[in-house]
Amino acid sequence: MRRTMGVAAASAVVVLVAGCGGGGPQSSGDQKLTGDKIVLGVLNDQSGAYSELSGKNSVAAVEMAIADFTAKYGDKAVTKDITVETADHQNKPDVANSKAQEMYDRKGVDLILDVPTSSAALKVADVAKEKKKLYFNIGAATTDLTGKSCNKYTFHYAYDTYMLANGTGKTTTEQIGKNWYILYPNYAFGQDMEKSFSTAITAAGGTVVGKDGAPFPNTSGDFSTFLLKAPNLNPKPNVLGTMQAGAELVNVVKQYNEFKLRDKGVGLAVGLMFLTDIHSLTPAALAGTTYTDAWYWNFDAKNREFADRFQQKAGTRPTFAHAANYSAALQYLEAVQAAGTDDADAVVKGLEGKTVEDVFLRNGKIRAEDHRVVHDAYLAQVKPQAEVTEPWDYVKVLKTIPAAEAFRAPSADCKL
Amino acid sequence: MSGFAQNTFNGLVSGAFYALLALGLAVIFGMLRVVNFAHGAFYMLGAFGAYVLLAEAGVPFWAALVIMPVGLALLGMALERAVIHRLTKLDPLYNFLLTFGLTLILQDLVKLRYGVQSSPYETPSLLSGSVDFGLFDFPTYRVFILGFAVLLCVAVWWVLTRTRIGMVVRASTERPDLTRAFGIDVGRWVTPVFGFGIGLAGLAGVLAAPMRAVNPLMGADLIIVVFAVVVIGGLGSIFGSVAAGFGIGLVQAWGEAYLSNFPLVSQTIVFVVMAGVLLWRPAGLFGREEAPA
């Protein structure tokens, strides 16, 4: 009861302030914004395995976007009342489902952001479709978001399994080694990654000489069986492609070094890796490893300027997920500003086919066909320890993969 | 052939961790009739302690190998005095609630300070090479773990079977009431035995730091298998827990190597073995059926 009273009081205040302010844009008087405000919802993992690569710092990134938007438009902004709601989905699809409904229905959220973990991400896409509210996915990798599970209100913003496989698989095959041994965690994400990589490697003229699905979760923490097998295959692989993520990736890399596979002529390529993974493994353990990055904080002056501001706020350097959350929130606010309303259909109309350039999106375009947001991606290599001159600067970018090549063509499975 | 030998060796190395953890659980269960669900958290604290000592105080691996087990044993003894000993007279459900709750608290405290991302820990330089066995070469660090764990198990076995202290502990473990009837103060041994079990978990943690991901949840993943090991060996059986620990390590390694076309089998093999053993010998391979109360 007290809660409803509080909400009622708060909305009364909002109405009064908005009424008295009178400085709003053209929309004042009209019901252009639901509740006269914009609410952004960050739904992600705030305590588990993905809480560091995204988590609370993604909320910080979204707050930065709001501050930048407000500073840019000042009194001309569609509203000054922009708030953030956050929730922890614990990487569980059912929790993600109910939190997403709660956000849209009860918290007045106009846009849900982030949502790592593919299974949870797909559930939220269903909710967005049902509620006809916007959803920008950043944290999840599955191409189904722009494939058979695509819908009008869902946009896939930062990366996907195709981008990772195409970048790392193709370029590593061309430049480092043609014979691959693939090790993947035996569940949806790992199997999807293995298929995408095998396709990309074969297309680039390489061969997958062996592949194994390791138990997931690997309770023993031991991958030695697979690591021992790799150098003894015939023909001998010169690249080990690991699709493990998080702590399992750490185990694989530690044991890869223990068995000295690099000295035995087997290089390392990683399917999905975040800056935070390199930090916890140390660049020494990963030196020479190639992977595809959606964004790197020290790539150029523009990124660095953002990274410096981010560090002031969050105390650490941003991962690509943090930068993408910033960009997604900013582009949504720009779209609302342009449309003059937060009506989802009107905003979608404004977003579709739009070309965008910001700190995260380089040569960015929001594809109308499947709502895939395409942009430049980067083939990155971990520096040797000796070349690491400042904290968190662990990577050099070997090659920029142009937006047009980085992502797959719109899938026939997607009917918006 | 060399492949088989290597897989066997790796199975024994995994088994060494299971054995050290299961041994601690077995002595604690035997003495206190408490199933310590917090065992995995102490393993994690061992590994994390080694990391913190190195990263923040420059204490090397070798010193951590002594400091962490002793420190955690003392912490364990304090916990036993403060809360654990109150469990003996209560319903087993309280045992679960307390030790599981303890796990969550310890994990979250570490998470609060160090986050969930794994922390780096390098192999000590003395052990970073590899040993040539003729047929194959093997990382020195793994050889060290195996040797160290076997030595430790033999030492524990010697203390338990050849010394007076061991005799008292064994008697109090297997028949506490009868031992009391002989005028031996069982209660006196409870706290040190609990501390010893926790110390072993901490030691396993320090040993794991250079080769496993060091993060707050590392114990939670491992402990599931360790409980299966303890059940297979026979709850409370000291010899059974060690034998089952190495045995399960081998079964897992062979399963992964030779059943890799059947991922479901290699993933569940430990629990299939457990179910089989329970059907065949409900008290575990080396356990004794308890007389009805």
Predicted confidence at residue B291, as pLDDT, reads 45
Structure tokens at A346: 């009107």
Radius of gyration of chain B (CA): 19
Per-residue confidence band for B170, with pLDDT thresholds at 50, 70 and 90:
confident
Structure tokens at A194: 């293995």
Per-residue confidence band for A5, with pLDDT thresholds at 50, 70 and 90:
very low
CB contact under 8 A, A277 and B117: yes
What mean pLDDT do residues B23-45 have?
91
For residue A244, is pLDDT > 50?
yes
Q: pLDDT: is B165 or A124 the higher one?
A: A124
For residue A28, is pLDDT > 60?
no
Predicted confidence at residue A342, as pLDDT, reads 94
The minimal CB distance from A280 to the residues B119, B142, B260 is found for: B119
Task: Check if the beta carbon of residue B153 is closer than 8 Å to that of residue B200.
Answer: no
Residue A364 backbone dihedrals phi, psi, to 5 degrees: -80, 145
**How close B79 comes to chain A (CA, Å)?**
27
Q: pLDDT: is A36 or A138 the higher one?
A: A138
Of A213-222, B44-53, B231-240, B258-267, which range is least confident?
A: B258-267
Q: pLDDT: is A251 or B117 the higher one?
A: A251
Predicted confidence at residue B136, as pLDDT, reads 77
- Tracing tokens 């399917």 back to the chain, one arrives at A271
Looking at residue A288, the DSSP 8-state letter turns out to be T
**How close A190 comes to chain B (CA, Å)?**
13
Domains of chain A and any CATH numbers:
33-159+300-375 (3.40.50.2300), 162-293+378-406 (3.40.50.2300)
What mean pLDDT do residues A378-402 have?
94
CB contact under 8 A, A221 and B120: no
Question: For residues B7 and B252, what is the distance between their CA atoms, to the nearest angstrom?
Answer: 10
CB contact under 8 A, B115 and A51: yes
Q: pLDDT: is A36 or A10 the higher one?
A: A36
For the stretch A291-301, pLDDT in tens is 999 999 999 99
Task: Check if the beta carbon of residue A246 is closer than 8 Å to that of residue A277.
Answer: yes
For the stretch B187-245, pLDDT in tens is 888 899 999 999 999 999 999 999 988 989 899 888 989 999 999 998 878 889 999 99
**For residue A387, which amino acid is it?**
E
Question: For residues B223 and B102, what is the distance between their CA atoms, to the nearest angstrom?
Answer: 14
Distances (CA, A) of A231 to A193, A256, B254: 22, 11, 18
Residues of B with CB under 8 A from a CB of A: 3, 6-7, 10, 13-14, 111, 115-120, 122-123, 130, 139, 141-142, 208, 210-213, 215, 217-218, 221-222, 224-225, 249, 252-253, 256-257, 260, 263, 266-267, 270
What is the distance, to the nearest Å, from the Cα of residue A71 to the centroid of all Cα atoms in its chain? 26
The minimal CB distance from A222 to the residues B10, B111, B263 is found for: B10
Rounded to the nearest integer, the mean pLDDT of chain A is 90
For the stretch B216-226, pLDDT in tens is 989 988 898 99
The minimal CB distance from B211 to the residues A232, A248, A258 is found for: A258
The minimal CB distance from A250 to the residues B118, B141, B142 is found for: B118
Predicted confidence at residue B289, as pLDDT, reads 64
Considering only CB atoms, which chain A residues are within 8 Å of B217? 49, 247
Q: Is A232 on the interface with B (CB under 8 A)?
A: yes
Q: Which chain A residue shows the shortest CA-CA distance from B8?
A: A225
For the stretch B49-104, pLDDT in tens is 999 999 999 999 999 999 999 999 999 999 999 999 888 788 888 998 999 999 99
Question: For residues B108 and B116, what is the distance between their CA atoms, to the nearest angstrom?
Answer: 9
Rounded to the nearest integer, the mean pLDDT of chain B is 89
**For residue A168, which amino acid is it?**
T
Size of interface A-B (CB pairs under 8 A): 101
Which of A361, A16, A416, A363 minimizes the C-alpha distance to A158?
A: A361
CB contact under 8 A, B222 and A255: no
Q: Is A293 on the interface with B (CB under 8 A)?
A: no
Per-residue confidence band for B16, with pLDDT thresholds at 50, 70 and 90:
very high
Interface test with B, best of A194, A219, A276 (most B CBs within 10 A): A219
- pTM for this prediction: 0.81
Q: Is A47 on the interface with B (CB under 8 A)?
A: yes
Predicted confidence at residue A175, as pLDDT, reads 84
Considering only CB atoms, which chain A residues are within 8 Å of B119? 280
Considering only CB atoms, which chain B residues are within 8 Å of A254? 210-213
For residue A29, is pLDDT > 80?
no
Q: Up-side HSE of residue A128: CA atoms within 13 Å toward CB?
A: 31
Structure tokens at A92: 């569980």
Considering only CB atoms, which chain A residues are within 8 Å of B266? 215
Considering only CB atoms, which chain A residues are within 8 Å of B271? none
Q: Which chain B residue shows the shortest CA-CA distance from A230?
A: B3
For residue A8, is pLDDT > 60?
no
Per-residue confidence band for A64, with pLDDT thresholds at 50, 70 and 90:
very high
Predicted confidence at residue B189, as pLDDT, reads 85
Predicted confidence at residue A24, as pLDDT, reads 40
**How close B14 comes to chain A (CA, Å)?**
7
Strand, helix or coil for residue B231: helix
For the stretch A357-376, pLDDT in tens is 999 999 999 999 999 999 99
CB contact under 8 A, B252 and A247: no
Per-residue confidence band for A10, with pLDDT thresholds at 50, 70 and 90:
very low
Distances (CA, A) of B250 to A225, B10, B20, B254, B274: 11, 8, 15, 6, 14
Predicted confidence at residue B1, as pLDDT, reads 58
Which of A300, A307, A277, A298 minimizes the C-alpha distance to A289?
A: A277
Question: For residues A228 and A208, what is the distance between their CA atoms, to the nearest angstrom?
Answer: 17
Which of B5, B269, B277 minimizes the C-alpha distance to B134?
A: B5
The minimal CB distance from B222 to the residues A49, A221, A258 is found for: A221
Distances (CA, A) of A208 to A182, A241, A356: 7, 10, 37
For the stretch B38-57, pLDDT in tens is 999 999 999 999 999 999 99
Structure tokens at A271: 């399917």
Which of A202, A160, A119, A172 minimizes the C-alpha distance to A294?
A: A160
CA angle B183, B186, B192 (to 5 degrees): 145
What are the percentages of helix, strand and coil residues in chain B, rounded to 5? Answer: 75, 5, 20
Predicted confidence at residue B290, as pLDDT, reads 57
What mean pLDDT do residues A245-268 have?
90
Predicted confidence at residue A31, as pLDDT, reads 54
DSSP, residue by residue, A140-174:
---GGGGTTT--TTEEE-S--HHHHIIIIIIHHHH
CB contact under 8 A, A228 and B142: no
What mean pLDDT do residues B154-158 have?
90
Which of A340, A371, A303, A316 minimizes the C-alpha distance to A160?
A: A371
Question: For residues B220 and B103, what is the distance between their CA atoms, to the nearest angstrom?
Answer: 9
Question: For residues B77 and B193, what is the distance between their CA atoms, to the nearest angstrom?
Answer: 8
Q: Residues A373, A379, A384, A389: is their CA dihedral positive or negative?
A: negative
Predicted confidence at residue A107, as pLDDT, reads 95
Predicted confidence at residue B251, as pLDDT, reads 93
Radius of gyration of chain A (CA): 22
DSSP, residue by residue, B74-98:
HHHHHHHHHTGGGGGGS-HHHHHHH
Q: Is A213 on the interface with B (CB under 8 A)?
A: yes
**How close A219 comes to chain B (CA, Å)?**
5
For residue A160, is pLDDT > 90?
yes
What mean pLDDT do residues B158-168 have?
88
The minimal CB distance from B130 to the residues A49, A52, A260 is found for: A260
For residue A391, is pLDDT > 70?
yes
Per-residue confidence band for A329, with pLDDT thresholds at 50, 70 and 90:
very high
Q: Where are the domains of chain B?
A: 14-218
DSSP, residue by residue, A117-133:
SHHHHHHHHHHHHHHT-
Percent of chain A with pLDDT over 90: 75
Enumerate the β-bridge partners of residue A291: A380
DSSP, residue by residue, A22-59:
----TTTTS--SGGGSEEEEEEE-SSSTTTTTSHHHHH
Q: For residue A180, what is the enclosing H or E element? A: strand A179-185
- Top mean pLDDT of A39-53, A99-113, A219-233, B91-105 is at A99-113
Predicted confidence at residue A201, as pLDDT, reads 96
For residue B254, is pLDDT > 80?
yes
Question: For residues B236 and B234, what is the distance between their CA atoms, to the nearest angstrom?
Answer: 6
The minimal CB distance from B256 to the residues A225, A248, A284 is found for: A225
Considering only CB atoms, which chain A residues are within 8 Å of B270? 219
For residue A19, is pLDDT > 70?
no
Residue B94 backbone dihedrals phi, psi, to 5 degrees: -65, -35
The minimal CB distance from A254 to the residues B111, B115, B212 is found for: B212
What mean pLDDT do residues A149-154 have?
96
The minimal CB distance from A255 to the residues B111, B211, B256 is found for: B211
CB contact under 8 A, B213 and A215: no
Predicted confidence at residue A14, as pLDDT, reads 44
Q: Is A226 on the interface with B (CB under 8 A)?
A: yes
For residue A21, is pLDDT > 80?
no
Distance from the first to the final alpha carbon of chain B = 52
For residue B292, is pLDDT > 60?
no
Which of A65, A15, A62 minimizes the C-alpha distance to A36?
A: A15
